Chain A
Amino acid sequence: KQEVTQIPAALSVPEGENLVLNCSFTDSAIYNLQWFRQDPGKGLTSLLLIQSSQREQTSGRLNASLDKSSGRSTLYIAASQPGDSATYLCAPGGGADGLTFGKGTHLIIQP
């Protein structure tokens, strides 16, 4: 069974800092990995999808990397802003039967 761990569980930093959020998973037989953002009381918004054959994916200030063989992914946020405050969830995908989620990193960016 896939197990997903996200470190740190919570993070509070001043605005402008560059951040790295970590995700590790136990089963490397994945097809892809998604990073999501969840705002309080809201649904999940997909940020980035990395296919298993890719090493990284970029969208604006976000960059996600994937090392499938070692079971690791990182989400890099450049020049953080207060609007980036949210919970970030990592979810490796093993097939058509849905995603396995980590518990998330709760991020607070202080103005």
Chain B
Amino acid sequence: NAGVTQTPKFQVLKTGQSMTLQCAQDMNHNSMYWYRQDPGMGLRLIYYSASEGTTDKGEVPNGYNVSRLNKREFSLRLESAAPSQTSVYFCASNRGGVQETQYFGPGTRLLVL
């Protein structure tokens, strides 16, 4: 099993450009999450999808949109990138419910100039 996959691995954008980060899981998980990791800040939740067809804001949603395309895929979109969005983005998934382990993808490193 591939687990949680993310594309691209690395991206450089100019301020104002848009892009979509892709995430897919092959574990038949119900819930999916997007986090960002910044030096000295730890990981922070951007958006999550508790089940197919639902999405909710996390701690730091401003400047982002998400789409739960189907049960496998959860994308994160930056409509107009800003230097403050330079970060490493991680997607995670679990079966759903509060007792379940979260599984993480390898991350997307984004640099906004």
Contacts and interface: CB of A to CB of B under 8 A. Distances in A.
Nearest to A95: B98
B63 interface: no
Q: How large is the interface on B (under 10, 10 to 19, 20 to 34, 35 or more residues)?
A: 20 to 34
A103 B40 contact: yes
Interface string A87-111: 0010101011111111110000000
Contacts of A28: none
Q: Which 7 A-B pairs have the closest CB atoms?
A: A31-B98, A44-B104, A98-B45, A101-B43, A43-B104, A101-B42, A103-B42
B99 A51 contact: yes
Interface string B41-79: 111110010100000101000000000000000000000
Contact of A97 (B41, B43, B58, B104): B58
Interface in B68-113: 90, 92, 96-99, 101-107
Interface in A29-77: 31-32, 34, 36, 42-46, 49, 51
Nearest to B90: A43
Contacts of B43: 44, 89, 91, 99, 101
B31 interface: yes
Contacts of A4: 42
